Amino acid sequence: MVSAHTRAYYHAGGVLKKVHPEEPRDVWFFRVRDMEPPYAGNVDPDMANRDTMTIFINYRVLDYQGRFLGATGVGITVGAVKSLIEHYQERFGRTVYFTDGQGQVVLHGARYRGAASLDQRPGLAPHLPQLLKTNEYSAEFSEEGGTVLLNARYIPELKWVLVVEESPEDILRGFRSTLQANLAICALVTLLVVLLNRKTVHYFHDKLAGMALRDDLTGAANRRSFAIYFAQLAAQARRQPEDLSVLLMDLDDFKSINDQHGHLVGDLVLKQVAAHVKAHIRDWDVLCRWGGEEFLVLLKGAGLGQATAIAEQLRQGLATARFGQEPAAITVTMSIGVAQYRPGDSESGLVGRADDALYRAKAGGRNRVEALAA
């Protein structure tokens, strides 16, 4: 920023100098002061950057009454522009250069192999008048036995023309590369979509299967699961006799928990009781939620005596545990009926005898284990 009042040249590092009309290197400021357009471009050494050749765009700064306050500008070094040109040419395979209003090439990258003046290129020379006096221009011409596609755009800030040249062969080469890359990407995306679709289908299939065979609240198996397990174990027992027993368990006076603490606490107690029972039975035993506050455990390889002992351990452990949430945790008790599988038993026959045993436990005062002899 150069102030019109003090003529101080302000820079990021402080005041660089004061400009003077007699100093050739300061002529640009007085040219900006006296011009009518709001901005202008020029290429000059940058005094604030070791006289590096720099492309400047200088702007007139005016107050609200249109009085000139000073000039401010932005600049980019010629070397930086050349680096951008080189990067663009290497990436896209095109020739890029700038020409002034007379067709003289003023800035170019290493890829440019043409003459310093565009009128010295026979194929391009006929297009030069139109190229230099229109804001945008496109043309096609022949040079050294090949076709060149040209696009030009006038840069008013610099009063230069930006010219980009490319050959159809380069375009096709890039098109083929892009097409191959797109095909590869499409194949990869298709594969990922197929794999994701399979995984999603399997996930929801397993989830739906789990929902069909599991109780939503407690996570225990449901009656449908029990029917499947029982059918399998009964078939095995017919082929190779093996003990099989069931425990039918019912939480004592569970209605009072719902009445005193609410159904949310009641649901929490059911989940915690299921988790407690699951943690205290064998890995191969099956816990089912039979309905309401009733649970059923299918004990493979357990006769009536062993099943009764397991039931008693569960009853005692449950009676000493606390459920719900602190500080309002509560104790619950459980009555359990035990029955052993008989050869040829149906599901309803085996569970019916366990239910009879459970009824005896309830009638005997609750918090008891009763077993029916096989």
Which structure tokens are listed for 147?
A: 């076709």
- Categorize the per-residue pLDDT at 208 as very low, low, confident or very high, splitting at 50, 70 and 90: very low
Q: Look at 367 and 145; give whichever has higher pLDDT.
A: 367
Q: What is the dihedral of CA 23, 25, 28, 34, to 10 degrees?
A: 0
Instruction: List the strands of the sheet with 286-291, edge to edge.
Output: 286-291, 294-300, 244-251, 334-340, 369-371
In the chain, where the domains are located: 2-78, 93-166, 169-212, 223-371
The whole-number pLDDT of residue 299 equals 92
Cβ contacts of 61-66, under 8 Å, gap ≥ 24 = 61/1
Task: Give the CATH architecture of domain 223-371.
Answer: 2-Layer Sandwich (3.30)
Contacts 24+ apart (CB under 8 A), 361-365: 361/335, 361/336, 361/337, 362/250, 362/252, 362/335
What is the model's pLDDT at position 311? 94
Q: What is the pLDDT of residues 251-305, one digit of tens each?
A: 999 999 888 888 999 999 999 999 999 999 988 899 999 988 999 999 988 999 9
Please give the DSSP secondary-structure letter assigned to residue 49.
G
Residues 312-341 pLDDT 10s:
999 999 999 989 887 778 899 999 999 999
User: Which CATH code for domain 93-166?
Assistant: 3.30.450.20
pTM: 0.46
